[in-house]
Structure formats: structure tokens, C-alpha cells
Copies of this chain bind each other. A is one copy, B any other.
């Protein structure tokens, strides 16, 4: 389904080469001022324009130039939320008029083209369609709204690039990106995210545990192949006495009042210059992922905060 959340709900729509992408945020608390500038900053982050200058060569030129601007359709009066659904759309301006007929019968390897064709008996052959990363623009808008709500609770969410390939410092990452780019290849990356200010009690037993819900939300992002938190996969080598009661932010799946740390990994994209000469692709899609990770975390936490405040 294309809806996520129970109380704070986001319904997402749109294909990459259709009229628009967008969404409907339902359950957003009334009376909050929506800061459009903050949304614009997040869309800039998604485009790669806020990355360190020395990394920007590694971003697809098309992404860098995208000027997405959401049009809000409902739920606001003078930019104040009414408690009714907030719908918005972002028109797809990059849809070119070229003849797509040649793509009609080609399913790109390592893409979702063939599974969509098989599952639905039809697909939007003009591009990635619903499976394109284009849809993340809508997530970023809704996520930015969710972060603004969480700020009223003093909860902040920050994600950043922790690793690219085997490189973990900005300098090493720069060198690695250059090397990968030179080979026309692509490389994976790890994004880390910290949630600060969570009160005790966010997350629900049994199946809506905070880490479980965050894992689902983050792993719904294209190319994300793993999620861990606290001691995570590295903890397998530790003994119980080493862990020193580090909770990772949750006990029994419910926030314990300490910061919540999680990581997620993005695989190298299969679209690369080596395979498609002349194409200008992201060398490492993880670079532009942090704001999307924040968006998914923010929507999930907003949902669980509202649930925990309802006293059930």
C-alpha cells in the first residue's frame, strides 16, 4: 500500500514521468505554522545542492538542477494547519517529449521494470514509474512537515553520511568518489541518524516497537539493504558484560529517554556510466539519502508520539 502510519498518515502518489508526484498528510495536528523555507532546504538537500562542494561532482547533474516546488492544495489557511488533510503535488518538469516507444518492450536489468510488468501486467515504460527514486521528493516534503511537528516537542532528527565504500572521513570519501567516478562505477554508503529529545514511552508493544517501525520506514527507501541500531551488527562480537547497559535508545522496543541511534546501508546503484556510456549518474546514491532517511524517521516518530500521547 501507498500509505504509512496510523495516526500521522502519509499517502504517496506519482510516477516519475507522469503529471506529478505528491502526497496527502492526514492526522497532522491543527494550528501549526508550516515553514516553507525549511521544506525548500530539505528539497535542496535531496537534490545534492547542500553537499560539500568537493562531493558534488559525484551527483547526477539532473538531480542537482531539479527545482522542485510543492504546491499545497488543502489543509492550510495562511500556512497554518487546519487539522484536515494536507495535500500537495510537485509537477514533473523534467519529463521530456521524446519518443518513449523504443523503451516499451525493454525491461532494464537490476531494475524493477520486469517485476512491475509481471505483477500488474502493465508498467509505465516512460521511466522508472512508481519505482523511480523520483517519488522520494514527496517523502521529503511530508517528512519536513513531520520534523516541524516534532520540533514543537523538542525532538530533533539528524542524519548524515557515515561511510562511503570503506572510507569514513570526508577526505577519504572525496578520494574514493573520484576513483569510482573515474572508473564509471558506483559505490555503496552508510547513513547514520540520531534522534534526540525523545521522551520515555514512544513505541508500542508488540509489533509497533520503535526500532521495528523505524526499520520498516527506512527500508522502504529504494536501494536500502539494511538497518540496525544501538550495538547493531557490530554487537555480535561483543559479550554481554561489554555492552554496559547501552540501550541504543529503546528497551523492549520503547524509547527510554536516551538518544536513539540507527544506521542504514545503501547499495551501489546498478545504473552507472560503465554500463550505459554517456549516462551521467550518481556515483553514490547514499550521498543524497540522509534527508530521505530523516523524513521516514520523522513520519514514523510523529505517528508513535501521537499514539503515546493518546494514552493508549
Interface residue ranges, A against B (CB under 8 Å): 1-4, 6-9, 11-15, 18-22, 24, 26-31, 71-77, 80-87, 89, 109-112, 114-116, 118-126, 129-131, 135, 163, 165-166, 180, 183, 185-190, 200-201, 204-209, 211-213, 215-217, 219-220, 222, 224-233, 235-243, 245, 247-248, 251-256, 265, 267-270, 272, 274, 306-312
A265 touches B235 (CB 8 A): yes
A256–B107 Cα gap in the complex (Å)?
Answer: 13
Please determine whether A15 and B74 come into contact, CB atoms closer than 8 angstroms: yes
| A114–chain B nearest beta-carbon distance, Å | 7
The distance from the CB of A270 to the nearest CB of chain B, in whole angstroms, is 6
A84 to chain B, nearest CB (A): 4
A22 contacts B115, C-beta separation under 8 Å: no
Q: A7-B312, A14-B85, A219-B227 are in contact. List 6 more A-B contacts (CB 8 A).
A: A1-B206, A3-B207, A189-B236, A211-B224, A225-B229, A233-B265
* 5 residue pairs A–B, Cβ–Cβ below 8 Å: A4-B206, A21-B74, A135-B206, A212-B220, A227-B227
Report how far A24 CA is from B23 CA in the complex, Å: 9
Q: Do B7 and A241 have beta carbons less than 8 Å apart?
A: no
Chain B residue nearest to A130 (CB atoms) is B84
CA distance A74 to B130 in the complex (A): 9
Q: Is B201 a contact of A119 with CB atoms below 8 Å?
A: yes
Chain B nearest CB: distance from A105 CB in Å?
Answer: 14
Q: What residues of B have a CB within 8 angstroms of the CB of A83 in the complex?
A: 116, 119-120, 122, 312
A110-B251, A122-B80 known; A11 vs B27 contact (CB < 8 Å): no
A14 cross-chain contacts in B, Cβ below 8 A: 73-74, 85, 87
Q: Is the CB of B73 within 8 A of A19?
A: yes
Query: Distance in Å from the Cβ of A260 to the closest Cβ of chain B?
Result: 12
Determine the distance from Cα of A224 to Cα of B183 in the docked complex, in whole angstroms.
Answer: 38
Q: Within the assembled complex, what's the spacing in Å between the Cα atoms of A206 and B256?
A: 30
> A309, B310: Cβ atoms under 8 Å?
yes
**How distant is the Cα of A187 from the Cα of B230 in the complex, in angstroms?**
15
Q: Are A75 and B13 in contact (CB under 8 A)?
A: yes
